[in-house]
Amino acid sequence: MSQAATLTPRPSPRAPQSTSRILLEFLGSMNLAVTLLVVVGIAAIIGTVLKQDQPYSDYLLRFGPYWFKVFRDLGLYDVYSATWFVFIMSFLVVSTSVCVYRNGPRMLREMRQYRLKVQAKSLRLMRHHVEQETIVDVSGVEARAKRLLENHGYRVREQDHGDHRVLAAMRGRFNRFGYLLTHIGIVVILIGGMLDSNMFLKMAVALGKLKVETQDIPVSQVPASSRIGTWNPSYRGNVSIPEGSSANVLFLQLKDGYVVQQLPFTVAVKKFTVKHYITGQPKDFESEVVVQDTKTGKTVHDVIRVNHPLDFDGDKIFQASFGDGGSKLQFNIWSLVGTSKPLDFKGTVFGKYALDTQDGKRQLEIDNFRMYNIEQVPGQNGETKPRDLGPSVTFKLRNAQGVANEYVNYLVPQQVDGTSYFLSGVRTEPNQPYRYLHVPMGPNGGVKRFMQFAEALHSKPILDDVAANMASTTLKAMGSGENASTHDKIEASIKRILQLFAQGGYPSVVESVRERVPADRQKEAADAFLKVLNAGLEGVYRRVLAQDGVTAPTQKDWNFFQAAVPSLSVLPLYGSPVYLQMTDFKQIQAAGLQITRYPGATVVYIGALMLLSGIFLMFFVSHRRFWLRTEPRGDGGTRVLFAGTSNRNMMEFDNHFTELKDALFSKLRP
Per-residue pLDDT of 567-604, as tens digits, reads: 999 999 999 999 999 999 999 999 999 999 888 888 88
Three-state SS at 105: helix
pLDDT band of 482, cuts 50, 70, 90: low
Same-domain status, 318 and 332: no
663 lies in some domain: yes
Pair 356, 495 in one domain:
yes
Residues 313 and 340 in one domain: no
Give residue 379's pLDDT: 67
In terms of domains, do 338 and 486 share one?
yes
The CATH code of the domain that includes 153 is: 3.30.160.110
Instruction: Name the average pLDDT for the chain.
Output: 87
- What is the rounded distance in angstroms from the CA atom of residue 342 to the CA atom of residue 582? 12
Task: Confirm whether 232 is domain-assigned.
Answer: yes
Residues pairing with 562 in the sheet: none
Q: Is residue 213 part of a domain?
A: yes
Q: Are 437 and 424 in contact (CB under 8 A)?
A: yes
Which CATH number covers residue 593? 2.60.98
On whether residue 51 sits in a domain, the answer given is no
Give the pairing of strands 257-276 and 227-228. parallel
What per-residue confidence (pLDDT) applies to 1?
41
Domains held by the chain: number:
3
* pLDDT score, position 61: 80
Which residues face 242 on adjacent strands?
A: 590
Longest dimension (CA), the chain: 159
Residues 471, 338 within the same domain:
yes
pLDDT reading at 11 higher than 60: no
Question: Is 46 or 579 the better-scoring residue by pLDDT?
Answer: 579
Residue 430 has pLDDT above 90, yes or no: no
Q: Summarize pLDDT for 327-366 with one digit per residue, the tens.
A: 999 999 999 877 768 999 999 999 999 998 888 899 999 9
Residues 519 and 668 in one domain: no
User: Do the beta carbons of residue 631 and residue 639 sit within 8 Å?
Assistant: yes
Residues 521 and 538 in one domain: yes
Integer Cα distance of 79 and 83 in angstroms: 9
* pLDDT score for 7: 47
* Same domain as 259, residue 119: no
Shared domain check, 569 and 474: yes
pLDDT at 4: 41
For residues 321 and 332, membership in a common domain is answered with no
Structural domain harbouring 251: 199-325+589-598
Residues constituting the chain: 670
Q: Across residues 642-653, what is the average pLDDT?
A: 91
Q: What is the pLDDT of residue 280?
A: 63
Residue 305 lies in a domain: yes
CA distances from 322 to 249, 328, 351, 594 (A): 17, 17, 19, 11
DSSP state of 667: S
Looking at the domain assignment, is residue 8 inside a domain? no
Does residue 185 sit within a domain? no
Between the alpha carbon of residue 224 and those of residues 261, 439, 464, the distances in Å are 11, 49, 63
What tens digit of pLDDT does each residue of 437-448 get? 999 999 888 899
* 340 shares its domain with 320: no
| Domain boundary pick from 587, 614, 633 | 587
pLDDT grade, residue 3 (50/70/90)?
very low
Q: What integer pLDDT is reported at residue 340 of this predicted model?
A: 65
Phi-psi region of 504 (alpha: psi -120 to 50; beta: other; left: phi over 0): alpha
> What's the CA gap between 157 and 150, in Å, rounded?
11
> By mean pLDDT, which of 270-284, 405-419, 533-547 is the weakest?
270-284
Whole-angstrom distance, CA of residue 30 vs CA of residue 91 = 13
- Per-residue model confidence (pLDDT) at position 9: 52
Q: Are residues 454 and 338 in the same domain?
A: yes
pLDDT per position as a tens digit, 215-253: 888 888 889 899 998 888 888 888 999 998 999 999 988
Task: Confirm if 234 and 604 have CB atoms less than 8 A apart.
Answer: no
626-655: burial string, b at 16+ Cβ within 10 Å, e else: bbbbbbbeeeebbbbbbbbbbbeeeeebee
Task: Give the mean model confidence (pLDDT) for residues 140-160.
Answer: 94
pLDDT digits (tens, 9 = 90+) for 23-45: 777 777 778 888 888 888 888 88
CB of 538 within 8 A of CB of 561? yes
111 pLDDT more than 70: yes
pLDDT band at 479 (very low <50, low <70, confident <90, very high): low
Q: What percent of the chain has pLDDT over 90?
A: 43
Q: Is residue 203 part of a domain?
A: yes
